[in-house]
Homo-oligomer: A and B are copies of this chain.
């Protein structure tokens, strides 16, 4: 088996695919002076409710050192709050603030429109199938074997 060419390599294809998709969201995020990662953190907290940092990092696919910096930035802008967990001085619960919720709600329509435009170009069925295949790949790699 030959090594794959860069035009047929899974890591590069995943990178490029992510790039073309994110290009649609960047203008929206830039208008609100929010980075892509900060946006992920806010959405996860909005969906899930208050979380500790480790769990939040896992769900948002952000490494702990990055999350530390992101939390600091979001706290300063009062998009999130942090409350120490009683009985364990290490942990803290991170929660989205009303301001943060308001931001997410403000962007929701545009976000929906962007996804609809992607589905229109790529096809809703293909979109679903691609998500399933990506989940399958992630699963195949996480169940050790």
A17 proximity list for chain B (CB < 8 A): 14, 134, 137-138
A72 within 8 A of B: no
Check if B111 sits within 8 Å of A3, measured CB to CB: yes
Of A75-83, A93-101, A119-127, the stretch lying at the interface with chain B is: A119-127
Q: Which 8 A-B pairs have the closest CB atoms?
A: A20-B141, A14-B18, A13-B134, A122-B140, A121-B140, A17-B134, A3-B111, A130-B133
Chain A interface (Cβ < 8 Å from any Cβ of B): 1-6, 8, 10-23, 25, 36, 40, 43-44, 47, 59-61, 108, 111-112, 115-116, 118, 121-123, 126-127, 129-131, 133-138, 140-142, 145
